[in-house]
Amino acid sequence: MKLNYTSFGSINIDGKHYDMDVVIDGGKIVKREKGKSRLLKSEYGHTPLTPHENIPWECTQLIIGTGFYGSLPIADAMKDEARNRGIDLKIMTTAKACKYLESKGEQANAVLHLTC
């Protein structure tokens, strides 16, 4: 998988452009469905990543790209759920997550935040 995240709010994956947060699940790319997490926006100052979203849990390693500046909040419930499922959760800026994912191929799933 070829990922190119060079600008705030935009990513190219295998030559296709995306301008919204994405979920990579076994090589399949879908839009992040953060609606259920918006309820916690006031608590975190930004819509956090929670286990109530379309998280690609069928993996041994889940990569979270926290945005251009690394500002995406990760709810403790998300970390707890990954731990309970025995999933190795890697949290890093989206640029670093893209480089990491390229080295892993389809061995890891991901949630990539494209702004902040």
- Which domains can be identified in the chain, with CATH numbers? 3-113 (3.40.1230.10)
In 3D space, the residue among 31, 73, 77, 29 whose CA is nearest the CA of residue 51 turns out to be: 77
pLDDT tens-place string over residues 29-39:
999 999 999 99
Q: What percent of the chain has pLDDT over 70?
A: 98
pLDDT tens-place string over residues 46-72:
999 999 999 999 999 999 999 999 999
Mean of pLDDT over the chain: 95
* pLDDT range class, residue 105, cuts 50, 70, 90: low
pLDDT value of position 104: 79
Cβ-contact 30, 54 below 8 angstroms: yes
* pLDDT surpassing 90 at residue 106: no
